[in-house]
Structure 1
C-alpha cells in the first residue's frame, strides 16, 4: 500500500499556532515556511490529490518575501488579525478567491476565475495567509466522497485506496498529511465532520450564522450550509474560527458576536458535565461493525475527565426528521443547480446525484416546504429539551468506515439498502437541521487501521463550550492524535 512519507521538515510538522509564533518571533522566515510546504506538497500531493489549482512556486515565494519584509521593521499585522501571517493556505474549491479558478468540481465551471474574494477568504487574507491554491471537493460539494471530473479523486490520508470523505475531503487530507497547517471547509451534510473523522483531524461545524457567507444567492433561507475551520489541534480550530466568525451586514442572520472570544479557551470543569450518547438512535441508523465500539471507547475518555456519559434516545421520530430534511435539502440544492440548467444541454455535464436533487424538487410546493419548516421547528424545540438534561450530545461522525475510492457512494450498510446517495450520512443531519455547533473529534482506529470520529453537539450558539470540551478530550487522547498516516502504515 502506498502511503505518505513521514513529514521530513519539522516546519510542516508544527501546529498552525506553533508556526504562527515562530514566524512572528522570526525563528523561521515566511520564505522558509513556503518552501517547506511546497516541498511537502510536491512529495505527497501526487499520492493523495488533495490540493488543486496550485499557483506558481516563484509567485508564492515572492509573496512570502513580501510577508518577510513586513516583519522586518516589526510591522506584521497585530494581534489575532495577524495570526496567519505568511501561512500557506488552500481554500476549498467552493469558495471564491480572486484571480484563482473556482470550479465547484464541475466541468461547467472548469474555466471560471473568480473576480472577488468571498467573505471568509477576505478575512483570512486580512489575517495574513498566502493562498497557494484550492482544496479538492466533490462536484457542487454534493456527497461525502471527494471526486469530480475536473480534478479526479482525493484519497484518504491513511489509505490512498479509500475515500477521503467530503465535501471538505481535500482540506482534511492536506491537514493530515502536513500539506497545510490549518484548513477551511464548509458543512451542509457533515462536510467538515465526516472528512475530519476519516482523516484523524478536528472539524467544527459552527452554529448557524457564526461564519457568514458572501456572496450568495440567498441570505434568508440557505442556512443549512456554513463555512468553518479544520485543524490538527483544537487550538488551531478555535484560532481560525476567530478569524472566520463575526457579523456582516450583508448577511442579516449572522451572529453579532466578536470572533475574538475564540482566541482563548479556558479549561472547562468537566466533573459536572453530562453527555447524552445517542449512538445509532436505538438501531434506527445502520452502522458498520466496529463504529459504535470505537466511539464508545472514546466516550470512556470523557468519563476519565469526570463527565457523566449516559445512553439516551433521540426522543422524537427520526424518520420524520429525515423526511423534512429531504425537503429542505432538495429545495436548497435545486436552487444552486438551477442556473446551470438554463441550457438543457448542460444536463449531460452534471453529476446524476445533483440532477436527482434538482428533479426531486420540481414537484415541491410552498405548502410542502412550509410543512417541512414546521417539522424542523418542532425538532429544534425538541433538541432544547434534551439540553435541559445534558450539556452535550454525542453521535458517531459517520455510519461507515472509509470505503473504496472507486465507489460513488455506499449502496448498503450491513445489508440495509440506501435509498438515496446520501442516506448513509444521515447521522450528521441533526446538528445541521437544528443549527447547533458540532465538532468531530478523532475517536480511534478500526480493525483495518482506518480512522473514525465522534460528533459532540452543543447548545445553541455554544461554539466556545464545544471547543472547550474538545480541548479537554484532546488532552486525554494524545495516543490517537499522534498516529500519523505513515505511522499507521507500519
Structure 2
C-alpha cells in the first residue's frame, strides 16, 4: 500500500505495524506536506520538528524491540493550542500567555502521548477559544483550505484545517458553543462533541460543567473512533467522568438506517436564521436517511430557554476563569471577549439559578423527545464558510446577528441539551464551500450515534472530496 498524507489513520497505523513504513518516514511525509501548505492555511503553530523527530525515533526503536507504544503508535499529531502539553509552547491564542511553556500535560495530552502519538505542533485557535472563527494576535488567521479567502471556523479551526489539507491524520478539539462541530462543517471533516464526561477534562476549574467538552476530529468516523478510544474513559481526577472504557469505541459497527426513527428540522421550528445554501445541503442530508429506509419526520425538540441558559452560563464561566486576568491586562483581550467577561460580572445569583433551571428543564424535555426518536438531524452551522476578514457573519438571510455568538445557535442550543452530536460532511455550496449536517443522539448514547454516522458516511461520501490547494496557489 502506498501511503499519502490523506491515507486514513487506520491505514497508517496498520502500515506501521507491518513495518511497511517507519514512524520517521511517516513524519517526513507529513513534514513535506506541512512545508508545502501550512504557510497559506496557517493551521499549525509552534511547530517543532526536532522534538517530533526524536519522538518518531523513539517509536521506531520501540517497534524494533517488539514493543508497541499504544493505539496511536507513530502517528503524527497536533494538539489544540488550548491544551497544555509539557515542553511545548501553549498560548491559548492570548498575548497574556504568549510565552507559556507548561511543565505538565493536561489529561488529554497525557493520554494521546501515552498512546504513542508523535507530537508535531499545536493547532491554531482563537483567543481563549472564544468564537467560531480562528484568529488571534499571536499567530494570525487560519484559512479554509477549500477557499483561502474563507474562515476555517473555530474554535478548533486549526485542527480542522490541518486535517482537511492533509497535514495531520488526527487532531483533538474542544466544544462549548460548537467548536468541534462548526470547524468540521466548514472544512469537510468529522467533528464529534461527546456526551459530557465521556472525555474527562483535567485540570478543570469547573468540574461540574456540562457545557464545555473535549473530543476528537478526523477525516472519517473510523479514524475519529480510533482517537476517541484513547481519550475517552474514566478517571478519578474529575467528577465529570463516565465509566465506559475508551476501548469500547475502538471499533464502530454501522447501525442500519432502515427503520431508524429520525427527527428532521432545518431551523428548529423557526428558531434559527439559515443561509439558503445550508438549507439546501441539510435537506439533501435528510434525503440520505429517507432513501435508506429511515422513518423521517419533521420534528424538533422544545429548546425554549436554551439561548438564555447558554449565554448566561457561558458568561458566568468566562468571568470566573478570565475575569481576574482581564482586570490585570485590560488591553490584551479582543473586544468581544472582554465584553463577554464583563457581562458575567453583571450577573446575579438569580440569573445563574434561572439559567441552571432552564438547562435542567431542557434536559428533561430532550429525554422525552428521544423516547420517540433515535436521532435528530439538523444543520451544524447556520452559514457556510464566511469571509475570513470578518469576525463573524453580521446577517443571515436578512436577519441581523447582534453578537459574535448569535450565528452559532444551531450548535449551542444542542450544547445545552447535554446530548452527543456529530458534524458529518454533507455537501457543498455552488461556490464549492463545505457544509456539514449535525446528527444528534440521546444523552450518553455516543456509541450508537457513531454507528449511525458511519452508515450516513457510507451513503454520502462527501468527505472524500479534497481541497485543491495546488490550484489555488
| Same fold, TM-score > 0.5, yes or no | yes
TM-score w.r.t. length of structure 1:
0.94
Q: Which residue of 1 aligns with 2:260?
A: 273
Question: Which of these residues, 301, 307, 314, is aligned with residue 322 of structure 1?
Answer: 307
Q: Which residue of 1 aligns with 2:15?
A: 22
Q: Which residue of 2 aligns with 1:481?
A: 463
Instruction: Classify 1:351/1:209 alpha carbon distance in 2 versus 1 (closer, same or farther; 3 Å).
Output: same
| Number of corresponding residues | 471
Question: Which of these residues, 101, 116, 119, is aligned with residue 131 of structure 1?
Answer: 119
Q: How far 1:486 sits from its partner (Å)?
A: 1.1
Matched, 1:297 2:279: no
Q: How far 1:10 sits from its partner (Å)?
A: 3.4
Q: Which residue of 2 aligns with 1:65?
A: 57
Instruction: Classify 1:10/1:290 alpha carbon distance in 2 versus 1 (closer, same or farther; 3 Å).
Output: same
Contact 2:272-2:410 within 8 A present in 1 as well: yes
Q: Which residue of 2 aligns with 1:218?
A: 206
Pairing 1:160-171 to 2, within 5 Å after superposition: 160-171=148-159
Q: Distance in 1 between matches of 2:190 and 2:38?
A: 21
Q: How far 1:464 sits from its partner (Å)?
A: 0.5
Q: How far 1:26 sits from its partner (Å)?
A: 0.5
Q: Distance in 2 between matches of 1:448 and 1:289?
A: 13
Post-superposition Cα deviations, 1:143-172, rounded to whole Å, max 9, x if no partner, equal: 100000000000001001000000000000
Q: How far 1:73 sits from its partner (Å)?
A: 2.2
Question: Which of these residues, 355, 358, 362, is aligned with residue 341 of structure 2?
Answer: 358
Q: How far 1:16 sits from its partner (Å)?
A: 0.5
Post-superposition Cα deviations, 1:266-289, rounded to whole Å, max 9, x if no partner, equal: 231321211101211222211112
Q: Which residue of 2 aligns with 1:5?
A: none
Q: Which residue of 2 aligns with 1:334?
A: 319
Matched, 1:93 2:85: no
Question: Would you identify which runs of 4 or more consecutive aligned residues in structure 1 move more than 6 Å?
Answer: 487-490
Q: Which residue of 1 aligns with 2:6?
A: 13
Post-superposition Cα deviations, 1:22-59, rounded to whole Å, max 9, x if no partner, equal: 1111110111001111111000100100000000x343
Question: Which of these residues, 432, 436, 449, is aligned with residue 466 of structure 1?
Answer: 449
Q: Distance in 1 between matches of 2:263 and 2:51?
A: 50
Q: Structure 1: any 5+ residue segments left out of the alignment?
A: 1-8
Pairing 1:342-421 to 2, within 5 Å after superposition: 342-343=327-328, 346-421=329-404
Question: Which of these residues, 24, 28, 40, is aligned with residue 35 of structure 1?
Answer: 28
SS of structure 1 residue aligned to 2:5: helix
Give the superposed CA RMSD. Answer: 1.5
Q: Distance in 2 between matches of 1:271 and 1:132?
A: 42
Q: Distance in 2 between matches of 1:267 and 1:314?
A: 26
SS of structure 2 residue aligned to 1:367: helix
Pairing 1:302-317 to 2, within 5 Å after superposition: 302-317=289-304
Contact 1:193-1:203 within 8 A present in 2 as well: yes
Pairing 1:78-117 to 2, within 5 Å after superposition: 82-117=70-105
Q: How far 1:236 sits from its partner (Å)?
A: 0.7
Contact 2:216-2:224 within 8 A present in 1 as well: yes
SS of structure 1 residue aligned to 2:468: helix
Q: How far 1:253 sits from its partner (Å)?
A: 2.0
Contact 2:201-2:214 within 8 A present in 1 as well: yes
SS of structure 2 residue aligned to 1:290: helix
Contact 1:203-1:439 within 8 A present in 2 as well: yes
Q: Distance in 2 between matches of 1:253 and 1:59?
A: 33
Q: Distance in 2 between matches of 1:377 and 1:62?
A: 49
Q: How far 1:306 sits from its partner (Å)?
A: 1.7
Q: Which residue of 2 aligns with 1:76?
A: 68
Q: Distance in 2 between matches of 1:253 and 1:83?
A: 24
Q: Structure 2: any 5+ residue segments left out of the alignment?
A: none
Contact 1:271-1:307 within 8 A present in 2 as well: yes
Question: Which of these residues, 116, 121, 125, is aligned with residue 109 of structure 2?
Answer: 121
Contact 1:158-1:489 within 8 A present in 2 as well: no
Instruction: Classify 1:190/1:198 alpha carbon distance in 2 versus 1 (closer, same or farther; 3 Å).
Output: same
Contact 2:225-2:250 within 8 A present in 1 as well: yes
Post-superposition Cα deviations, 1:418-446, rounded to whole Å, max 9, x if no partner, equal: 12211000111232111111000011001
Pairing 1:151-162 to 2, within 5 Å after superposition: 151-162=139-150
Q: How far 1:462 sits from its partner (Å)?
A: 0.6
SS of structure 1 residue aligned to 2:222: helix
Q: Distance in 2 between matches of 1:461 and 1:19?
A: 30
Q: Distance in 2 between matches of 1:316 and 1:72?
A: 55
Contact 1:154-1:164 within 8 A present in 2 as well: yes
Matched, 1:48 2:41: yes
SS of structure 2 residue aligned to 1:382: helix
TM-score w.r.t. length of structure 2:
0.97
Q: How far 1:394 sits from its partner (Å)?
A: 1.2
Instruction: Classify 1:313/1:58 alpha carbon distance in 2 versus 1 (closer, same or farther; 3 Å).
Output: closer
Q: Distance in 2 between matches of 1:316 and 1:129?
A: 40
Contact 1:202-1:440 within 8 A present in 2 as well: yes
Q: Distance in 1 between matches of 2:6 and 2:346?
A: 51
